[in-house]
Every structure is written in structure tokens, then in C-alpha cells.
């Protein structure tokens, strides 16, 4: 039984069917930060990660390169391990679902669930997506039974399967959610609860060996192998048992991406209930990393970021810091080189690195022979110490996985310390005793901050401790340096990163086609063009930026009608000059021969619009040279559709049926 001093955290096990990518790096880093933090505050931590190695996709990918499935995964797994090493991830164990002891454990669990009457044989006919490794409902697919995530046609599968009685656990699961903090973040819990309330159907947990051999054999029927999720989820326990660490169960945090919530929040606790195991304490579903325009990263969009290359170029710890603090952890996060560089330069280099380097320089020079005895603290010193004493708040935010908030609290303390430096102006202090006290407060504050940053930028923190010539004792209080203490040599923590590319990059059409990026904006200001009776000069707020757009709306809307109006803007057009004024984007409207109505939306300013089933579809439809082929129409009810699919959250003012332009 996991006592309070034990902390067990897991990443999902990664599909070994392809190369490791940014998503894998993200989940691993998100776990690493909390594992390190908990070690630092004195907990005994077991941090587990690994690879998910069974299933059809592995078989298919292995065939492509003429390998057996086992040979194939043996080639892939070192790449995942290498990612962990390069990112300095502090996992305690790496589990593989092809490990013999894992297979034995899963087999035991299958037998137990079977003996408890939760597994039965039935026939299944339905669609299977190899990419998701799951059975799918037709309603969730695009035309032609195409999986919206993998853009591949799903296979019709008709076979005798073993089923798990998920339906039996509906009430138990709902009760469990209500009584515990299992579903995290809390803001997303209701989604799962509502779906479970809609009813649970039993799930197929096996495939017949004539269809798929690459899996763990059912102990009660050797002609079947278990379907990947029953196998994969039990890694969280098999790894403990096989390491003699069952006293770490129940798990504290299963960190996952929101795309695999259902399996972890519904299947997993139900499987555990079936085999009479204790429930994990929480599953935390983080958001996805999207590109700067809010698009999923995918090879076909050409916006993929390779975690190894990126961190090699800009620094592993800078990369980690941005992933953890660059969005609102738990929500989807936009990732771009420009956002990364700005944040790292401002926060790591300016706020933190410069503070440490200034304090070191201002101390080592006058006190090269050692620190003087600390004098009496003045109010200004006491105020600083009290404002930077953040342990309770920081720890509770971290344990609640509110990383972004936790680091905001820490950075506020760092900024307060910079403000203190300016206030007490050590460079102008002529009283040596007072200067000694000020510099002692400042050195101690820097060392204190090192104890917090150790969980995210540990090698930088090591340099920090080294230059102040102290060891990290993990005492989260401001401790003054003793009289006579000598600082170590100066170390540079961060380099300022130069922005090589232009600040705003306009998407270039590829092969004659471009993506269409639509955003909800709000008109902040409108004025008439001085020399035109058609054009308005409009300032639009797009959430994270403001843009000037020149638009021919004068004959259609008055200034008052436009002010504060929400509009839909195409954000990735090349900036142009209209009537001599810069115009950066296009406001969408729907027109017929006589009139024109603006498109609007209920969604928040700054929201990216998903058009059709996936933004990637736009590529096929939009001719970038002139937006002549925009197949977007408004109807008489004010609804807008794109390529036959309704665009949710968008409506046409004046309800003019016609083409969007
Ligand atoms: N094998 C299953 C998990 C089984 S756990 C018992 C799986 N593997 S995965 O390789 O596809 O994904 C692993 C993790 O990477 C998931 O948490 C997923 O959410 C995460 N990510 C994949 N792409 C991502 C982003 N673009 N952004 C953030 N995380 C994403 O699912």
C-alpha cells in the first residue's frame, strides 16, 4: 500500500510503431518535472515509462521493412530510450509490453477477470482503425469510413471475440468519480462523467489469432490474443510487481494526453475493479501541442517539430521550461520557435539568468575573501524574504499539476527580487556592513530559487549552486550564507537566443495549395479611408495580436455597426496594401448579387476555427492564388458550411445565402 511518502507517476507507454515525436517528449517532460519535484521534497518516487509493442500497426510496419514484429520493436525501442536520455528524463524503469514478466502478469489479470465472470465470448462486427488500435463507431468517421485522426479507411472486422463487461461497471465508475479526485484536471471531468452516463457498452478485448497473432495469448483460449489496451494498461502494475515495488500502488498520477482519456478514465478503473485491485489516485489529461496557428502537428502539414533536433539547437532545459510553462498546462498549447525564443529570453535569460549573474558579480568582487557577518535585516529585506517564501503555494500547485501557475508564482518571486536589487541599489551602497547584508540576502534568494528550478532545469541549477559554492540541501527556506563563505567562479546559465527569422511568417502555398487559417477577431476601431468611399481601415483584435485590415464595407455597414463586432478573419494571407494602407488579413462575408453579410461567431476572440472535419482538408479545397475556389457557403438560416460540412460556431449576419468571400 502506497503510504504518503511514496509517489508513483507514469507516462503512457508509447507506441513503438513509429519514431518518438514531440508529443512523447511532452508527456515525458510533464512527468519528469513532478517526479523530480517530489524527490526534492523528500518523497520516495517511482517514475515509470515504456513502450506499447503489440497490435496490428506494429505488424504492418514490420512487414514493410521485412522484419518480424519483435525485430521491428527491438529496432524502435532504443530510439525511445535515446529520447529519454537526451532529454535527461529521470525515469526509474522502462517497461516493454513484450517483456516476458509483463506478459505473465497480463495473463494472470485476464484469468482473474475471466474467473470473476467479466469476460465472455461474443461475436463482433464493426469497424477497426489500425492507427487508433481500436474499434470505432461509424458516426465518428468521415465519409468513406475514414478515421479523422489517421486519414485512413477503417477496416470492417467480423469475428468471434471475447468481450469485457464494461456495462456492468457504469454505476460503480460514476460513484468512484464522485467520491474521489480521480479525474483531473477537474475542469475536464464532466466530459467523461457525461459520456459514461450515456451508457457503456461491453468492449471487445481480443482478436482471433487467424486475424492477428502479435499479442498476448488469452490464458483461457489459446486461439485468441488480447487487444492492445488490456495489455497496455496493465503495464502500470506489471512494472511494479516485476520490480518488487507493489508498495507504490496505488499510482498517484497517470499522466496522459487527452486523446487517450477514455481508456484511462473508463476502461482502466473498470479493469481494476474487475480484478479487485485498488484504484489509482488520479489520471491527469494534458492538452495537445499545436502549431502557432492552432493546427495539429502532422507530417502532411509540414509543421512537425523534432524534439531531439529542437532541443539540440536551443538547449534541453530551455525546451523543457517552455513546454511546461509556455501554455496553460492541461490545455492545448501552441508551439512555435518565435514563442519559444521570446519566453526563454525574457524569463530564463533576463529575469533569472541575469539576476544570478548580477548578484554573483556584485558579491564576488567586494567579498572575494569571504562573506561578512550578516547585519540586522531592514524592513525592505524582510519584505522581500516574506514575498519570496512560496513553498506552500508552489508545492500545492505542483501537486495539483497546475505547473503554469506554480512557475508564475516562482517567477513573480524572481521578479520581486530583481525589483529589490533596483530598490536597494547595491552599487550605490557605501556602508560595507549594509552591503554585506544586502548581498547575503540576494545570494540566499538565488540559492533558494535554485531549489525550486531544480525540478525543471536541473543542470542549470547545478551551475547555480556551484557558483555560489553551496550544495542543494532541499530545505525550502531562505538560508543565509555563513560569515567567511566564499563564492565559486562565475558560471553562465543561459545564452540569449537570437531570433533568426522574421517575426511573422506568412504561410507559403505548397504545390499551389495553401491552408486556410480562420480566427475569431473583434473590431477594436474603424475609420473611413480618407480617399475612398468604399474602404474602411479596421483594427482587429485576434486575441494574441492586433492587425490592421482594409476592407470594402463602407456601403454595407456604418462605423457604429462595425465597432466591437466579432468577425472571422483569414489570418494567413500575404500582407497587402489597399488604398495605400497596410492590410494584413481578410474579414469574411457572405454575398449574393445585391448584398453582403459579415460572418460572425459566438466563440471567444482568438479562437481558431476548425473548418470541415479537419483543417488539413482545406489544403485540397483552397486555391491560394485567389480565393476563388473557397467552397464556403452561407444559407438562409445564417449557417455556414464548408465543403458540405457545417462550420460550427459561425453564422452569417443578415442571413444572406451565398458564397463566402
Ligand atoms: N500506446 C498508447 C498509450 C497506452 S498507455 C497504457 C498511446 N501511445 S502514443 O504513442 O500514441 O501516445 C503517447 C502519448 O503522447 C499520449 O499521452 C499522447 O497524448 C501524447 N501525444 C501524442 N501527440 C501529442 C501532441 N501533439 N501533443 C501532446 N501530446 C501528444 O497512445
Q: What is the 3-state secondary structure (H, E, C) of 333-352?
A: EEECHHHHHHHHHHHHHHHH
Q: Is the CB of 517 under 6 A from ligand 1?
A: no
What pLDDT does 611 receive?
59
Do 6-287 and 518-660 have matching folds? no
Distance 26 CA to ligand 1 centre (A): 9
Quick one: 317-467 is in which CATH superfamily?
A: Isoleucyl-tRNA Synthetase; Domain 1 (1.10.730.10)
What pLDDT does 65 receive?
94
Residues in the chain: 661
Distance 12 CA to ligand 1 centre (A): 7
Q: Is the CB of 233 under 6 A from ligand 1?
A: yes
Dump pLDDT digits (tens) for 426-446.
999 999 999 999 999 999 999
CB-based contact 162:204 (threshold 8 Å): yes
CATH fold for domain 518-660: OB fold (Dihydrolipoamide Acetyltransferase, E2P) (2.40.50)
How far is the C-alpha of 204 from the C-alpha of 108, rounded, in Å?
Answer: 18
* CATH architecture of the domain with range 6-287: 3-Layer(aba) Sandwich (3.40)
SS (H, E, C) 503-535: CCCCCCCECCECCCCEEEEEEEEEEECCCCCCC
What pLDDT does 643 receive?
56
Q: With a cut of 80, say whether residue 507 has pLDDT above it.
A: no
Mean pLDDT calculated for residue range 286-305: 81
Q: Which residue has the higher pLDDT, 56 or 124?
A: 56
CB-based contact 126:135 (threshold 8 Å): yes
Q: What is the mean pLDDT of the chain?
A: 89
Dump pLDDT digits (tens) for 370-417.
999 999 999 999 999 999 999 999 999 999 999 999 999 999 999 999
Place of cell 487527452: 258
Contacts of 510 (CB under 8 A, 6+ apart): 302
Domain ranges of the chain: 6-287, 317-467, 518-660
How far is the C-alpha of 656 from the C-alpha of 48, rounded, in Å?
Answer: 57
Distance 239 CA to ligand 1 centre (A): 19
Read off the pLDDT band of 490 (50, 70, 90). Answer: very high
Q: With a cut of 60, say whether residue 457 has pLDDT above it.
A: yes
The CA-based angle 608-611-615, given to 5 degrees, is 80
Out of 6, 21, 515, 566, the active site residue is: 21
Q: With a cut of 70, say whether residue 350 has pLDDT above it.
A: yes
Out of 296, 338, 645, 654, the active site residue is: 296
- 295-299, 364-368, 589-593: the lowest-pLDDT one: 589-593
Pocket test for ligand 1, best of 27, 56, 58 (most atoms within 8 A of CB): 27
129 tagged catalytic: yes
Identify the three-state secondary structure at position 401.
Answer: coil
Dump pLDDT digits (tens) for 600-644.
888 888 888 765 433 334 443 333 333 333 456 666 666 776 655
How far is the C-alpha of 547 from the C-alpha of 521, rounded, in Å?
Answer: 10
Q: Estimate the share of the chain in helix, then strand, then coil, as percent rounded to the nearest 5.
A: 40, 20, 35
What pLDDT does 629 receive?
37
443 tagged catalytic: no
Distance 70 CA to ligand 1 centre (A): 21
CA 383 to chain centre: 36
CA 410 to chain centre: 21
296 tagged catalytic: yes
Amino acid at each position: 500500500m502506497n503510504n504518503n511518502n511514496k509517489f508513483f507517476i507514469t507516462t503512457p507507454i508509447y507506441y513503438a510503431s513509429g519514431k518518438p515525436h514531440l508529443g512523447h517528449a511532452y508527456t515525458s517532460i510533464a512527468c519528469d518535472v513532478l517526479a523530480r519535484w517530489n524527490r526534492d521534497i523528500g518523497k520516495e518516487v517511482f517514475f515509470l515509462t515504456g513502450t506499447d509493442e503489440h497490435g496490428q500497426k506494429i505488424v504492418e510496419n514490420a512487414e514493410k521493412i521485412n522484419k518480424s514484429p519483435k525485430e521491428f520493436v527491438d529496432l524502435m525501442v532504443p530510439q525511445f530510450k535515446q529520447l529519454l536520455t537526451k532529454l535527461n528524463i529521470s525515469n526509474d524503469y522502462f517497461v516493454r509490453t513484450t517483456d516476458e514478466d509483463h506478459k505473465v502478469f497480463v495473463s494472470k489479470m485476464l484469468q482473474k477477470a475471466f474467473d470473476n465472470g467479466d469476460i465472455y465470448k461474443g461475436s463482433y462486427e464493426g469497424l477497426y482503425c489500425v492507427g487508433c488500435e481500436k474499434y470505432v463507431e461509424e458516426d465518428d468517421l468521415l465519409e468513406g469510413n475514414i478515421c479523422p485522426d489517421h486519414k485512413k479507411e477503417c477496416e470492417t472486422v467480423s469475428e468471434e471475440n471475447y468481450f469485457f463487461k464494461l456495462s456492468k461497471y457504469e454505476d460503480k465508475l460514476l460513484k468512484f468519480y464522485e467520491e474521489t479526485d480521480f479525474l483531473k484536471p477537474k475542469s475536464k471531468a464532466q466530459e467523461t462523467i457525461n459520456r459514461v452516463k450515456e451508457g457503456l457498452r461491453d468492449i471487445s478485448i481480443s482478436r482471433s489469432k487467424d486475424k492477428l497473432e502479435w499479442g498476448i495469448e488469452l490464458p483461457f483460449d489459446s486461439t485468441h490474443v488480447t487487444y492492445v489496451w488490456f495489455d497496455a494498461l496493465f503495464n502500470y502494475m506489471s512494472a511494479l510487481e516485476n520490480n518488487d515495488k507493489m508498495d507504490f500502488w496505488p499510482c498517484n498520477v497517470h499522466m496522459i494526453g487527452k486523446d487517450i482519456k477514455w481508456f484511462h478514465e473508463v476502461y482502466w478503473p473498470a479493469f481494476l475493479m474487475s480484478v479487485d485491485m485498488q484504484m489509482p489516485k488520479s489520471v491527469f489529461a494534458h492538452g495537445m501541442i499545436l502549431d502557432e496557428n492552432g493546427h495539429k502537428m502532422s507530417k502532411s502539414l509540414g509543421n512537425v517539430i523534432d524534439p531531439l533536433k529542437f532541443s539540440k539547437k536551443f538547449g534541453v532545459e530551455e525546451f523543457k521550461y517552455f513546454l511546461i510553462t509556455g501554455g496553460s498546462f492541461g490545455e492545448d498549447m501552441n508551439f512555435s520557435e518565435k514563442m519559444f525564443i521570446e519566453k526563454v529570453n525574457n524569463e530564463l535569460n533576463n529575469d533569472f539568468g541575469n539576476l544570478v549573474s548580477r548578484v554573483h558579480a556584485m558579491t564576488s568582487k567586494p567579498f572575494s575573501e569571504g562573506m561578512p557577518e550578516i547585519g540586522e535585516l531592514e524592513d525592505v529585506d524582510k519584505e522581500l524574504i516574506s514575498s519570496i517564501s512560496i513553498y506552500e503555494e508552489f508545492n500545492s500547485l505542483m501537486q495539483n499539476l497546475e505547473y503554469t501557475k506554480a512557475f508564475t508564482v516562482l517567477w513573480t518571486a524572481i521578479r520581486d527580487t530583481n525589483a529589490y536589487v533596483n530598490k536597494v541599489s547595491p552599487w550605490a551602497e557605501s556602508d560595507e556592513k549594509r552591503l554585506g547584508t544586502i548581498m547575503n540576502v540576494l545570494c540566499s534568494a538565488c540559492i533558494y530559487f535554485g531549489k525550486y528550478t531544480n525540478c525543471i532545469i536541473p543542470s542549470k541549477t547545478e551551475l547555480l549552486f556551484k557558483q555560489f559554492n553551496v550544495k542543494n540541501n532541499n530545505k525550502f527556506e531562505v538560508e543565509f550564507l555563513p560569515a567567511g563563505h566564499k563564492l565559486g567562479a562565475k558560471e553562465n546559465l543561459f545564452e540569449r537566443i537570437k531570433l533568426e527569422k522574421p517575426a511573422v511568417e506568412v504561410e507559403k502555398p505548397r504545390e499551389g495549395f495553401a491552408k486556410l487559417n480562420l480566427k475569431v477577431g473583434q473590431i477594436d476601431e474603424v475609420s473611413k479611408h480618407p480617399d475612398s468611399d468604399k474602404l474602411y481601415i479596421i483594427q482587429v483584435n485576434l486575441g494574441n495580436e492586433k492587425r490592421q485590415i482594409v476592407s470594402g464595407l463602407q456601403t454595407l455597414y456604418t462605423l457604429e455597426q462595425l465597432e466591437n463586432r466579432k468577425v472571422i478573419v483569414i489570418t494567413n494571407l500575404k500582407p497587402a496594401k489597399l488604398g495605400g494602407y497596410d492590410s494584413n488579413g481578410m474579414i469574411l462575408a457572405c454575398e449574393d448579387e445585391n448584398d453582403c453579410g459579415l460572418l460572425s461567431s459566438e466563440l471567444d476572440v482568438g479562437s481558431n476555427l476548425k473548418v470541415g472535419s479537419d483543417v488539413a482538408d482545406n489544403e485540397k479545397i483552397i486555391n491560394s492564388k485567389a480565393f476563388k475556389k473557397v467552397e464556403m457557403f452561407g444559407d438562409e438560416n445564417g449557417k455556414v458550411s464548408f465543403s458540405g460540412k457545417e462550420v460550427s460556431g459561425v453564422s452569417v449576419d443578415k442571413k444572406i445565402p451565398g458564397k463566402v468571400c
